């Protein structure tokens, strides 16, 4: 088997490459002028965006993103939460109807149960139903061996906090503490992220006198000092750490619950009094947000913990309710033109620096260059066997080629079979370096590991 491995040094150098980006975007569909999902999927594939969050389980969208290398977060709509919380079989029915038909071809990685459910102020939205729905869905995943592949969480608004300043003194609203404790226990037990929709824009709009614009715009402001010694140069970091402090205040200090920014953005237009809702400010904020999402930097409280970020939003949605700014958070108009210029080019996409757009001259490209994932030659055999079992089972890899009579059956060695399966998994999941980690047993290589009639897949 002619496998050529990268030297550790080269592997180390690989890490900061922008293909290792992790920029997500929210794809809302409350517009009557939006392009078909297939067009959206094809075009996103040529950008640095590798994760998409939707607000339902729209079957056309899930179909369109099959085999796209883009991970998807789907949602249970708020008005479906009660139903799913009612019985385990209601959750089974929902999952079978909405999710099963699309996996594993579509890489569904998270189910967001409700959206800002606890802040709706609607008495019909029982907080206990939320946690029960999350638990029921998790049971469904467990029974199908999918719990490692698909996570369950729920996006919160910043309104779940009683106070957010100073960040280190922040706590959840008293009435929500029992629910939050249950949710955090669930997230810690299942290794799922805490999702928060964080908008410095609204905080700035509502308090322009006390908040410097640069601070809200993710700029390098002179700094806000927290009594515990943390220095904040931008409000988004302060908001994230306010959530972190509230989590810690409920006793979840030791468990590492990852915080994900499930929405953040800046409108390009608003009501007449929303004077900072402008294309220039939106461009500045979103450009900096993308840079932040691609960096490995955390926040002052946890400088080394990378934050996953989902921009809000892909499109201006002309049918969205609320003030004018609500309909103007998009990077794109419905016809595919950019609302303002934001660079979404992916340096390591072949045909680099291509223009994202729907108009003439925009072309579709594959993500390149060619890279594969294989098992480290000296990785522990038991670990590698576990990885192989995972990939061919819950991981959803088609492993027929490494079974007897398959083109990759020989050599009949655990490492060889695992390499085939790990690579297939890696290619399926968008070639993010963490999809070739496998507890340290995977290795990214530039050499095609294919041999004879045994072909290793590539995107």
Ligand X SMILES: *[C@@H]1O[C@H](CO)[C@@H](O)[C@H](O)[C@H]1NC(C)=O
Which residues form the interface with ligand X (CB under 6 A)? 83, 86, 90, 220
352: left (phi over 0), alpha (psi -120 to 50) or beta: beta
The catalytically annotated residue of 92, 263, 317, 401 is: 263
Nearer to ligand X, 90 or 169 (CB): 90
Half-sphere exposure (CA, 13 Å, Cβ side) for 122?
11
Pair 72, 102: CB distance under 8 Å: no
Q: Copy the structure tokens of residue 177.
A: 């503490």
- Is 253 known to be catalytic? no
Minimum Å distance from CB 83 to ligand X?
Answer: 4
Q: What are phi and psi of 447, to 5 degrees?
A: -95, 130
Minimum Å distance from CB 56 to ligand X?
Answer: 14
CA distances to 24, 70, 400 from 73, in Å: 10, 10, 28
Nearer to ligand X, 289 or 422 (CB): 289
Pair 34, 5: CB distance under 8 Å: no
CA distances to 10, 44, 208, 377, 444 from 440, in Å: 16, 30, 48, 12, 11
Nearer to ligand X, 252 or 285 (CB): 285
Token pair 């988004």 is found at: 236
Nearer to ligand X, 223 or 452 (CB): 223
The catalytically annotated residue of 116, 139, 305, 381 is: 116
The whole-angstrom separation of Cα 416 and Cα 402 is 9
Nearer to ligand X, 86 or 120 (CB): 86
Query: Strand 308-311 to strand 151-153: parallel, antiparallel, or no bridges (unpaired)?
Result: unpaired
Minimum Å distance from CB 76 to ligand X?
Answer: 11
Question: Residues near 189 by Cβ (< 8 Å), separated by ≥ 6?
Answer: none
Minimum Å distance from CB 66 to ligand X?
Answer: 24
DSSP state of 331: S
Nearer to ligand X, 92 or 317 (CB): 92
- Is 271 known to be catalytic? no
Minimum Å distance from CB 86 to ligand X?
Answer: 4
431: left (phi over 0), alpha (psi -120 to 50) or beta: left
DSSP assignment of 27-43, as one string?
A: -----SSPPPHHHHHHH
Minimum Å distance from CB 327 to ligand X?
Answer: 30
Q: Which residues are catalytic?
A: 116, 263
């Amino acid at each position: 088997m002619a496998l050529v491995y990268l030297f550790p040094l080269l592997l180390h150098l690989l890490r900061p490459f922008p293909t290792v980006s992790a920029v997500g975007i929210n794809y809302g569909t409350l517009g009557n002028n939006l392009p078909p999902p297939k067009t959206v999927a094809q075009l996103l594939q040529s950008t640095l965006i590798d994760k998409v969050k939707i607000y339902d389980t729209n079957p056309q969208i899930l179909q369109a993103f099959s085999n796209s290398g883009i991970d998807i977060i789907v949602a249970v709509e708020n008005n479906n939460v009660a139903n799913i919380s009612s019985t385990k079989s209601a959750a089974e029915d929902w999952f079978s109807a909405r999710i099963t038909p699309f996996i594993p071809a579509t890489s569904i990685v998270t189910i967001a149960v409700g959206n800002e459910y606890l802040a709706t102020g609607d008495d019909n939205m029982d907080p206990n139903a939320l946690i029960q729905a999350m638990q029921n869905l998790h049971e469904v995943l467990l029974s199908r061996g999918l719990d490692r592949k698909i996570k369950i969480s729920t996006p919160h608004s910043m309104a779940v906090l009683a106070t957010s300043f100073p960040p280190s003194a922040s706590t959840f609203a008293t009435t929500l503490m029992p629910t939050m404790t249950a949710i955090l226990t669930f997230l810690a037990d299942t290794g799922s992220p805490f999702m928060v929709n964080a908008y410095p824009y609204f905080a700035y709009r509502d308090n322009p006198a006390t908040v410097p614009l640069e601070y809200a715009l993710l700029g390098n402001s002179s700094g806000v000092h927290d009594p515990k010694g943390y220095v904040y140069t931008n409000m988004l970091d302060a908001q994230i750490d306010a959530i972190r402090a509230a989590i810690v205040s409920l006793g979840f200090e030791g468990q590492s619950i990852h915080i994900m920014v499930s929405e953040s953005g800046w409108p390009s237009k608003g009501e007449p009094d929303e004077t900072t809702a402008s294309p220039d400010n939106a461009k500045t904020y979103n450009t900096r947000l993308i840079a932040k999402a691609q960096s490995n930097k955390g926040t002052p409280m946890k400088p080394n913990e990378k934050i996953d970020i989902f921009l809000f939003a892909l499109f201006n949605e002309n049918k969205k309710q609320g003030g004018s700014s609500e309909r103007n958070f998009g990077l794109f108009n419905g016809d595919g033109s950019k609302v303002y210029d934001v660079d979404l080019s992916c340096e390591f996409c072949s045909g680099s620096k291509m223009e994202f757009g729907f108009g003439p001259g925009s072309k579709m490209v594959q993500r390149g260059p060619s890279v594969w994932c294989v098992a480290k030659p000296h990785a522990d055999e038991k670990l590698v066997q576990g990885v192989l079992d995972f990939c061919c089972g819950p991981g959803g890899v088609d492993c027929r080629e490494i079974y007897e009579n398959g083109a990759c059956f020989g050599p009949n060695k655990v490492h060889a079979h695992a390499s085939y399966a790990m690579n297939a998994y890696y290619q399926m999941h968008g070639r993010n370096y963490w999809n070739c980690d496998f507890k340290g047993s995977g290795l990214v290589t530039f050499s095609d590991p294919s041999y004879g009639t045994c072909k290793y897949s590539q995107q």
